[in-house]
């Protein structure tokens, strides 16, 4: 398992170097490869990663806020759990907004407590020529 983790780190570092080498270019073609950029689709829920509160205190504050302000985004069972896909869809639809600092802002302009959002970064795509 340690071997796989090390290889994954090396691959991630190599792809980051390729992204830097591409610079402003959209793609580079060599004799064997086509290297291009794949941008995140901001109209897709899959491009967003929500970081929800972890500590009990933060969760209580978050849940209280969501129940009062956005009850449709909370699924209540024995456990209170936000519906992440619905929250992401509101980002896609432009109802919720993302600040430069990664804070999630609702349609009332209020920051959703202890919640941050990351947008997937630009990926490097390498295709072997036939």
Tell me how crowded residue 50 is: count the other CB atoms within 10 A of its CB: 17
- Please write the tens of the pLDDT for every residue from 56-111: 999 999 999 999 999 999 887 777 788 899 999 999 999 999 998 999 999 999 99
Distances (CA, A) of 21 to 17, 37, 38, 50: 6, 11, 15, 30
What contacts 121, CB < 8 A, 6 or more positions away? Answer: 40
Q: How far is CA 87 from the centre of its chain?
A: 12
Specify which residues 29 forms β-bridges with. Answer: 34
- Quote the pTM value: 0.52
> What residue spans define the domains of the chain?
2-39+121-128, 45-119
Q: Quick one: what percent of the chain has pLDDT higher than 90?
A: 48
């Amino acid at each position: 398992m340690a071997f796989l983790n090390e290889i994954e780190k090396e691959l991630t570092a190599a792809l980051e170097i390729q992204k830097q080498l591409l610079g402003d270019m959209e793609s580079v073609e060599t004799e064997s490869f086509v290297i291009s950029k794949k941008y995140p689709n901001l109209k897709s829920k899959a491009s967003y990663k929500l970081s929800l509160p972890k500590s009990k205190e933060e969760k209580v504050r978050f849940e209280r806020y969501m129940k009062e302000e956005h009850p449709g985004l909370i699924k209540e069972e024995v456990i209170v759990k936000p519906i992440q896909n619905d929250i992401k869809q509101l980002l896609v639809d432009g109802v919720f907004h993302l600040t430069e600092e990664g804070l999630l802002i609702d349609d009332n302009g209020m920051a959703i407590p202890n919640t941050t959002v990351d947008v997937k970064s630009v990926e490097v795509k390498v295709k072997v020529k036939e």
